[in-house]
Structure 1
């Protein structure tokens, strides 16, 4: 009986932590995180600093936990949109458009802070590398005779340029719009 009580408390604590991560994620996506201290976050979320420290032991670790949660959830949702029965070419476009959709809520401040904070930048880079490999695999499925490695490499270069802010600087497209444009470009190339 006591075990159930301990399990229930742990489950409730886990749910509260996840809800707090959700709220922090909304703030980060909207305002970024570089300029926000723990006291600022506590004021915005109307909670105590000790409540925030239930997410992680330091401000930096809180940021990493929230950024990691954002990309983990985004990856799960992106993968969930892929319909195994769909035309493989449509799957490539759907995958990149889903990335675009997931990045759409993020503000320029969020992306600037991702780039400026090395641990967060590394999380974004790791997710981008995963997406590059995924695109290569999807292109290979869609067009086995095409040079999937080349298309994947090109996609990877563009995705890295998106990540570094170069596409935005050169075209004005934010990350979300750039992924949507990349999807159109790759799908059009495969249909040619």
Structure 2
């Protein structure tokens, strides 16, 4: 079996061994970051050959991008599973943002710093942040339509949530407040659910 890459070219699917290596790399990068490693270091840590790593990606930089992409793809899939079957917009937003917070809490400060300082990895984070912001806008719209959120300034609040997510992703909020991205998403959940709640 083969699948298409971003350019529409067909490439073979990873083998079971390659998927296991990618999982190991993800855990290693989450714990220690990726910028400081060479391919020789990675081959030694994973007890495999450099040619095995080259079969995953042609350079350490592209390998890092692949692993970062895998991490955020896993987050998206987990979040979808977490909110599946929930109909109450308040619970959806609470579960969705709690899920983001818990998932990001797996990542060390070194990993998040390396993402912020490496353009292609940062682009992957930005894309996922934009998707998350879009999902939250749709959840707010659902809450307003269902009558569980006030419709006063709901669109404005949704846009503000998007800007906050962008601030979390770019590191501005973390730098200014000295909190982790995970903690920032927890605070955003509390802010949204408190601010949007229908008044009795």
TM-score by length of 2: 0.86
Partner of 1:118: 119
**8 Å contact kept, 1:89–1:190:** no
Corresponding residue to 2:165 among 152, 159, 173: 159
Please give the alpha-carbon distance, in whole angstroms, between the structure 2 residues aligned to 1:104 and 1:51: 30
CA RMSD, 1 decimal: 1.5
Displacement of 1:42 after TM fit?
1.1
Q: What is the 5 A alignment of 1:111-190?
A: 111-144=112-145, 145-190=151-196
1:154-189 superposed Cα distances (whole Å, 9 cap, x missing partner): 111111111111222222210111101111110111
Please give the alpha-carbon distance, in whole angstroms, between the structure 1 residues aligned to 2:15 and 2:89: 38
Please give the alpha-carbon distance, in whole angstroms, between the structure 2 residues aligned to 1:118 and 1:166: 16
Please give the alpha-carbon distance, in whole angstroms, between the structure 2 residues aligned to 1:127 and 1:175: 14
Q: Which runs of 4+ in 1 moved over 3 A?
A: 83-86
Partner of 1:92: 93
**8 Å contact kept, 2:33–2:111:** yes
1:35-75 superposed Cα distances (whole Å, 9 cap, x missing partner): 11111111111211111112111111111111111110111
In the alignment, structure 1 residue 48 sits paired with structure 2 residue 49: yes
Secondary structure of the equivalent of 1:56? coil
Higher fraction of helix: 1
Please give the alpha-carbon distance, in whole angstroms, between the structure 1 residues aligned to 2:91 and 2:157: 15
What is the aligned residue count? 182
1:113-132 superposed Cα distances (whole Å, 9 cap, x missing partner): 10111100000000000000
**8 Å contact kept, 1:88–1:142:** yes
Please give the alpha-carbon distance, in whole angstroms, between the structure 1 residues aligned to 2:83 and 2:120: 29
Please give the alpha-carbon distance, in whole angstroms, between the structure 2 residues aligned to 1:149 and 1:55: 43
